[in-house]
Structure 1
């Protein structure tokens, strides 16, 4: 099944530092996904730039635009560094602004950056349940990378993509490239 229009990819970054390495990793993963799925350039939402607006009423137009972009994504990369063996409070504060089905129809890909392999399951144990509770579909395993992987994220993404491609293509309604169809037919 081919989509009538290209999938909208958004990268949501929960690192409290503006322009962080987590932002770079999210942009890289979202760009790679856009290339693989032949979609438009991804939109980046860096929560560090919106942090002051998260607890202000009435909400700012910038925060409303970010909330709408994330909820309107076909494919959402949710990136966070590990903070106290979980995802950041900044990301939690942003996600708390949605109701129970606020991310219904969104396919999410958790991306977790940590300093140690001991935190490899943070995305699966802590972030995935929150995304599912908000109505998102999470068809793949979390892409967990170490700080050292950020020097060259390509190999980690390539290893992850081998298992993630089929479920992601199904979830966003993207047809497989012609070469992949030949392999399936054999």
Structure 2
């Protein structure tokens, strides 16, 4: 199983990146094979044909399981993540990729954002979105046990889905 973390935070090396890595490792029992910190792709996200962006898209498409992580920004996922997701063909761009939506926020007001806003886009791109989204408080995600609870409940499902895909 190839695991990738895609992070759409405007700040490189963010808490969102850390949470994505922690979730991927909790689900699979090992560190992610690839981490794509989307902001580091820079202006290549704004034009078609950028080789670094295309290479990142291929990494995602060749992965079995991808954690797509974003901070909550203006009540939804970030524009940086949207720019990256726009690089995938609708309906087939994430075919056979088990896609796990993860969002972080400052408070519980947007606790459903991962399921209501990010998950539908991943499904529209053809991702296998059988696992529920996970919302974490950015101030407590590393020690509140939510990642471990989620992984305890869903790691077996993720593993089974990646064997089917």
Partners of 2:21 and 2:32 within 8 A in 1: no
TM-score, normalisation: structure 1: 0.82
Match of 1:179 in 2: none
Partners of 2:27 and 2:154 within 8 A in 1: no
Q: After the TM superposition, which segments of 4 or more aligned residues of structure 1 sit over 4 Å from their partners?
A: none
RMSD: 1.7
Partners of 2:19 and 2:142 within 8 A in 1: no
Q: Select 1:172's aligned residue among 158, 162, 165.
A: 162
- Quick check: 1:69 aligned with 2:59? yes
Structure 2 unaligned residues grouped into runs of 5+:
none
Encode CA deviations 1:73-99: one digit per residue, 9 max, x unaligned.
Answer: 100000000011100011111101111
Higher Rg of the two aligned structures: 1
SS at match of 1:50: helix
TM-score, normalisation: structure 2: 0.92
User: What count of residue pairs does the alignment treat as equivalent?
Assistant: 163
Match of 1:124 in 2: 115
* CA shift for structure 1 position 52: 1.5
Q: Distance in 1 between matches of 2:66 and 2:48?
A: 26
- Quick check: 1:43 aligned with 2:43? no
Q: Distance in 2 between matches of 1:34 and 1:51?
A: 30
Q: Select 1:140's aligned residue among 126, 131, 134.
A: 131
